[in-house]
Amino acid sequence: MPLDIKKWSTEWGGRELTIETGRYALLTNATVTVQYGETVILATVVESKRVNDSIDYFPLSINFEEKLYAAGKIKGSRFMKREGRPTDESILSGRLIDRSIRPLFDDSVRNEIQIVLTVLAIDGENDATITALVAASTALFISDIEWKGPIAGARIGRNKETGEFILNVTRTELAETSDLDLVVSGTPEKIIMVEAGAKEVPEEILFDAMKWGAEQLQPALDLMEKVRADIGKEKSVSAVKDEDKTEEQVQKEAVVAATEAFVSSVANDMIFNAVKISRAERSAMVDAIKEAASAHLTEKGFDEELHDAGLKNIKLYVSKEITKRILEKDQRLDGRSLTEIRELLADVDLLPRVHGSAMFMRGDTQVLSVVTLGAPGDVQTLDTMEEDGIKRYMHHYNDAPYTYGETGWMRGPGRRAIGHGALAEKALEPVLPAEEDFPYAIRVVSEVLGSNGSSSMASTCGSSLSLMAAGVPLKKPVCGIAMGLASDLEGTGAWKVLTDLQDVEDGPGGMDFKITGTRDGVTAVQMDTKTLGLTMDILEQTVKQSKEARMQILSVMESAIASPRADLSEHAPRIETIKIDPEKIGDVIGPGGKTIKKIIEETGVDIDIEQDGRVLITATAGPAMEQAKEIILQLVKEIEVGEIYEGKVVRLEDFGAFVNLIPGKDGLVHVSEIAWERTNKPGDVLKLGDVVKVKVKEIDNLGRVNLSIKTLLPRPERAERPKAPARPVHVDAHKAAMAPQPAAKPAVMPPVETASAEEKPKRGLFGRKKSE
Do 369 and 301 fall within a single domain?
no
CB atoms closer than 10 angstroms to residue 371 = 25
Query: How far apart are alpha carbons 712 and 152 in whole angstroms?
Result: 83
242 is a domain residue: no
Question: How far is the C-alpha of 274 from the C-alpha of 335, rounded, in Å?
Answer: 9
Cis check for the bond before 591: say yes or no (omega within 30 of 0). no
For residues 147 and 110, state if they share a domain. Answer: yes
Between CA 415 and CA 400 the distance in angstroms is 14
CATH code, domain with 149: 3.30.230.70
**179 and 45 inside one domain:** yes
Predicted local confidence at residue 730, as pLDDT = 54
Structural domain includes residue 102: yes
- Among the candidates 186, 204, 231, a domain finishes at 231
Give the pLDDT confidence score for residue 757 in this predicted structure. Answer: 43
Four-residue CA torsion sign, 500, 503, 507, 512:
positive
CA gap 536, 184 in Å, rounded: 12
- Pair (310, 215) in one structural domain: no
User: Side chain identity at 100, as an amino acid letter?
Assistant: S
CATH code of 678's domain: 2.40.50.140
Residue 300's CB: how many other CB atoms inside 10 A? Answer: 12
pLDDT score for 766: 37
Q: What is residue 585's three-state secondary structure?
A: helix
764 assigned to some structural domain: no
Last residue in a domain, options 231, 263, 278: 231
Is 532 in contact with 190 (CB distance < 8 Å)? yes
Q: How far is CA 392 from CA 241, 372, 395, 426, 517, in A?
A: 59, 12, 10, 13, 21
- Provide the domain count of the chain: 5
Task: Give 511-542 as a DSSP string.
Answer: EEEEEEE-SS-EEEEEEEESSS-B-HHHHHHH
Q: Do 152 and 258 share a structural domain?
A: no
Could you tell me if 252 and 233 are in contact, meaning their C-beta atoms sit under 8 angstroms apart? no
Cα separation of 334 and 363, whole Å? 10
Helix (H, G, I), strand (E, B) or coil at 614: strand
Phi and psi at residue 317, in whole multiples of 5°? -70, -35
Residue 124 lies in a domain: yes
Contact between residue 182 and residue 210 where contact means Cβ atoms under 8 Å apart:
yes
**270 and 227, same domain (yes or no):** no
Q: Which residue range(s) make up the domain with 444?
A: 344-478+535-560
CA distance 371 to 377: 17
Task: Kindly list the distances between the CA atom of residue 406 and the CA atoms of 5, 451, 610, in Å, as whole numbers in the listed order.
Answer: 53, 11, 49
Q: Which residues contact 566 (CB under 8 A, 6 or more apart)?
A: 471
Distance, in Å, from the CA atom of 137 to the CA atom of 39, rounded to the nearest integer, reads: 17
Residue 279, in any domain of the structure: yes
Per-residue pLDDT tens digits for 376-431? 999 998 888 888 888 999 999 999 999 988 999 998 889 999 999 999 999 999 99
Q: Angle of helix 88-101 relative to helix 128-142, nearest 10 degrees?
A: 40
CB 558 within 8 A of CB 477: yes
- Same domain for 612 and 681, yes or no, is no
Rounded-to-integer distance, Cα 173 and Cα 309, Å: 53
Query: How many CB atoms neighbour CB 173 within 10 A?
Result: 17
AA letter at 733: A
Bridge partners (DSSP) listed for residue 448: 367
Buried b (16+ CB within 10 A) or exposed e, 691-718: ebebbbbeeeeeeebbbbbbeeeeeeee
CA distances from 85 to 89, 114, 129, 133, 385 (A): 11, 18, 18, 21, 13
Report if residue 239 sits inside a domain.
no
Q: Does residue 772 lie within any of the structural domains?
A: no
The values of phi and psi at residue 250, to 5°, are -65, -40
- Mark whether 397 and 277 lie in a shared domain: no
- pLDDT, residue 275, reads 87
Is 226 strand, coil or helix?
A: helix
pLDDT digits (tens, 9 = 90+) for 657-670: 999 987 768 999 99
In this structure, the strands spanning 15-21 and 60-65 are unpaired
| Residue 613 shares a structural domain with residue 651 | no
Domain termination site, one of 272, 298, 329? 329
Q: What is the dihedral of CA 694, 696, 702, 704, to 10 degrees?
A: 0
Distance CA 738, CA 747 (A): 26
Phi, psi of 191 (to 5 degrees): -105, 135
Distance CA 699, CA 685 (A): 24
- E strand or H helix at 16, and its extent? strand 15-21
What is the Cβ-side half-sphere exposure of residue 711, based on CA atoms within 13 angstroms? 15
pLDDT of residue 387: 81
Give the pLDDT score at 622. Answer: 83
Check residue 417 and give its pLDDT.
93
Residues 183 and 272 in one domain: no
For residues 307 and 435, membership in a common domain is answered with: no
Question: Distance between CA atoms of 531 and 192, rounded to whole angstroms?
Answer: 8
Which CATH number characterizes residue 610's domain? 3.30.1370.10
Which regions in the chain score pLDDT beneath 50? 733-734, 737-738, 744-772
550 and 584: one domain? no
Report yes or no on 768 lying in a domain.
no
